[in-house]
Amino acid sequence: NKRGDQRSSTVRMYRKESNGTEKQLLEYLEPADVKGTKFLSISEEGEKDLMYIYFPFLGRERRIAAGEESDSFMGTDFTYEEIGSGQTYQEEYDALRLKDEVLEEYPCYVLRLTPQGEDSDYTYIKMWVWQEEFLVLRIEFYEEDERLTKTLSNSDIREEDGDYMPHRIVMTDEIKGTKTIIEILETKEEELSDDYFTLRYLRR
């Protein structure tokens, strides 16, 4: 934050996509005061996202209500919706292509996205998409009066098994002057059981 205070956590993420359904589970490994906290999100095409958070000290899970999706996730600069799996810009926003730009060394399409409904937290979103791999590299979130409120930056792009993905993700709150940095230390591609993405697993 602006005072220079820092807090770090180690999280393991499981992710699975099949038959139009995207499932994601985050599990906190450290520090001790949040160890065992789990967040489950399930996004099914055409359906409202399901999100649950489990706190060990409560011994039970809690479903994230629709009105809470834009709340801060675990004190970070990400919202529940942004950290979850169901950020469907294509379905929920109308896109206008702007002039192409080069972001660092990556030629990008630049898009202005306007929400289709009235329940969005933002007036519009500006997005930079790497032309070669259609990978989002930067997003700017704007509220009323053209005010930039948050910026998402994806960097340290690496190729793994033919796919490109960022290994450093930074969300900056331009109003509060805080930022959340996600650094991906290791990735594995393996077959995952659906049992990971259940309320029963949350309670383990």
pLDDT of amino acid 31: 94
The distance from CA 134 to its chain's CA centroid, rounded to whole angstroms, is 17
Looking at domain 88-173, its CATH architecture is: Clam (2.50)
3 state DSSP class of 112? strand
Domain 1-87+187-204 homologous superfamily, CATH: Lipoprotein localisation LolA/LolB/LppX (2.50.20.10)
pLDDT of amino acid 33: 93
Q: How confident is the model over 56-82, as a mean pLDDT? A: 92
Which two three-digit tokens encode residue 119?
């329940």
- Mean per-residue pLDDT over the chain, rounded: 91
Which pLDDT band, with edges at 50, 70 and 90, does 1 fall under?
A: low
pLDDT of amino acid 49: 85
Interatomic CA distance for residues 127 and 18, integer angstroms: 27
Interatomic CA distance for residues 87 and 63, integer angstroms: 18
Q: Which residue has the higher pLDDT, 85 or 137?
A: 137
pLDDT of amino acid 128: 98
pLDDT of amino acid 85: 62
CA 115 to each of CA 52, 109, 122, 136, 203: distance values in angstroms, whole numbers, following the listed order: 25, 19, 8, 18, 36
Q: What is the pLDDT of residues 6-22, one digit of tens each?
A: 899 999 999 998 888 89
Q: What is the pLDDT of residues 191-200, one digit of tens each?
A: 999 999 999 9
Backbone CA torsion sign across 89, 90, 94, 100 = positive
| pLDDT surpassing 60 at residue 50 | yes
Q: How confident is the model over 135-160, as a mean pLDDT? A: 94
pLDDT of amino acid 88: 65
- pTM for the whole thing? 0.90
Instruction: Enumerate the CATH 2.50.20.10 domain ranges in the chain, comma separated.
Output: 1-87+187-204, 88-173
